[in-house]
Chain A
Amino acid sequence: MSLYIKYFSIHLKSQMQFKSSFFFTTLGQFLVAFVTLLSINFMFARFDSVGGFTHEEVLLCFAIIMSAFSISELIARGFDQFPNLIGNGGFDRALVRPRNVIFQVLASQMDFSRLGRLLQAILVFIYVIPSSSIDWTLPRVITLALMIICGGLLFFGLQVLYAALSFFTLEGLEFMNLLTHGAQEHGRLPFSVYGDGILKFLTFIVPLALIQYYPLLFLLGREEAGIFHGIAPVMSLLFLLPCYACFKLGLKKYQSTGS
């Protein structure tokens, strides 16, 4: 942990060397989140609800998925840049150091400009939490925290998976964007909105709905939602196991082919 803090401070120092660049990329992140927010508001100027969710409920959902995503990229972005890391020898360097490889890779990049997105999410939280009709009991607060934390971990797992795949091919990985950026972008609406097929896929294959749709039902106090929905985010963490296994497999392949 203390080593992580060292990495963190080195990245912070590095990025603060270029203050104007940091400022603009952060602003950019804020703007991207902001135009998404505008789009939501434009749509709700025409419609009262979507798939049984009101404007405020959608905003809550938007802020949750946005926080989870930006936190994961803020504290660990190394896997996102993984093909570069292989290309520039950074990964070989990690292999000749006596520390866990996954840890070294994840700490090798941190993107503080994601603060821009996080800020947008926080502003939305500030607006929507008091104005929504949710009764913020302790279990609900815990569920909200779980959604963000486990969501961050799940996005991190997807990054590890992306890295694992890039051991095998460097050119065909664009589709992973669908599961990371796409999930973040389209996750502004509860996943049930996209129909049964998508919801099943996001429940059983890539369990993003476990950190979004099901616990959201619990937050909103829907009848069908029990405590099981509230702790769904924890179950989503099972997904990290296959991600880890794939990475191990990829690493083995890398060590036998060197590319």
Chain B
Amino acid sequence: MITLQNITKTFKVSKRQAGFANAFKALFSREYELIHALHNVSFTVNDGEMVGYIGPNGAGKSTTIKIMCGILTPDDGDCSINGRTPWRQRIAHVRDIGVVFGQRSQLWWDVPVIDSFELIRDIYKTPQTVYSKNLKELTEILELGEILKTPARSLSLGQRMRCEIVASLLHNPKILFLDEPTIGLDAVSKIAVRQFIKQLNVERKTTVILTTHDMQDIEALTERIILIGRGQVLLDGSLAELKSRANTDGDNAEEAVAALYKELKI
């Protein structure tokens, strides 16, 4: 189970202004401003749930994910994931989670994918039996067969993303964080990735937390949506609730979200 309570996080960033004179001035003094990335964020996710975590750019999605992964320590608030505080018991915590950063690869670029998988197995100390079973199952579902012998750099984006997801699952994580898993994919690959995520959630009871900008991902995958804007949770409910909240005609989720962003001024 994942519980976040009043998680708050503020960053200090230096201002940088354009122009020659300002650049020169910045040699000697710099101004800072505070960015309130997260403000009293609270929610609970039960085991086996699939949650879509959405919001515009800069809303605080990545910050939340990073906190839940143990990469970042919040200024204030509590977070408990399977009974552990991620940033205090990071190593124990990360054994139980899988993370896919959609825009960043965890595969070694120039060697066959299978070599990366084996190295990841050793990093997680996954028992060979568990590893082989997972690998066999996952490659079958995702039809990866021949692809495993190809170096990651020669894969298409869709193929690579499927491999990324497999790589994050080889150690049987209870929770999977997917940060924009369908970004840049073509229609066919998107559908394949979505089906796979769905299947994973149903068959393995893996808890999935997914960030995305693609509302079709949300429609296809999640019952529950958490909408975040300006560092605060603005809505926690179903897609239907979101649509009714947005007051738009028709059934288009994309438009509903756009209208909502506008209405909430985020």
Q: Which of A92-108 contact B (CB under 8 A)?
A: 92-93, 95-99, 104
- A43 contacts the other chain (Cβ, under 8 Å)? no
Complex Cα–Cα for A257 and B11 (A): 6
* Interface SS of A by simple majority: helix
Which residue of chain A has the shortest Cβ distance to B171 in the bound complex? A98
Known A-B contacts A14-B109, A95-B69; A2 and B11 likewise in contact (beta carbons under 8 Å): no
Q: Which of B95-124 contact A (CB under 8 A)?
A: 95, 97, 99, 101, 103-104, 106, 108-111, 115-116, 118-119, 122-124
Q: Which of A131-185 contact B (CB under 8 A)?
A: none
Complex: how many Å from CA A5 to CA B75? 39
Which of A17, A97, A255 is close to B124, meaning CB atoms less than 8 Å apart? A97
A6 CA to B108 CA, complexed, in Å: 12
Query: Which secondary structure dominates chain B's binding surface?
Result: mixed
Report A-chain residues with C-beta under 8 Å of the C-beta of B73: 255-256
A255 surroundings in chain B (CB, below 8 A): 71-73, 87
Query: B48 interface residue, CB < 8 Å from A?
Result: no
CB distance from B70 to the nearest CB of A (A): 7
Q: Restricting to A37-57, which residues have a CB under 8 Å from any CB of B?
A: none
Distance between Cα atoms of A13 and B108 in the complex (Å): 10
Chain A residues closer than 8 Å to B122, beta-carbon distance: 2-3, 6
- Chain B residue nearest in CB terms to A89: B104
Residue of B nearest to A4 (CB): B122
Residues in A neighbouring B42, C-beta threshold 8 A = none
Closest to A92 in B: B71
Binding site for A on B (CB under 8 A): 11-12, 63, 66, 69-73, 75, 87, 90-92, 94-95, 97, 99, 101, 103-104, 106, 108-111, 115-116, 118-119, 122-125, 151
Q: List 9 A-B contacts (CB under 8 A).
A: A2-B122, A6-B122, A10-B119, A17-B151, A95-B94, A97-B123, A99-B123, A255-B73, A255-B87
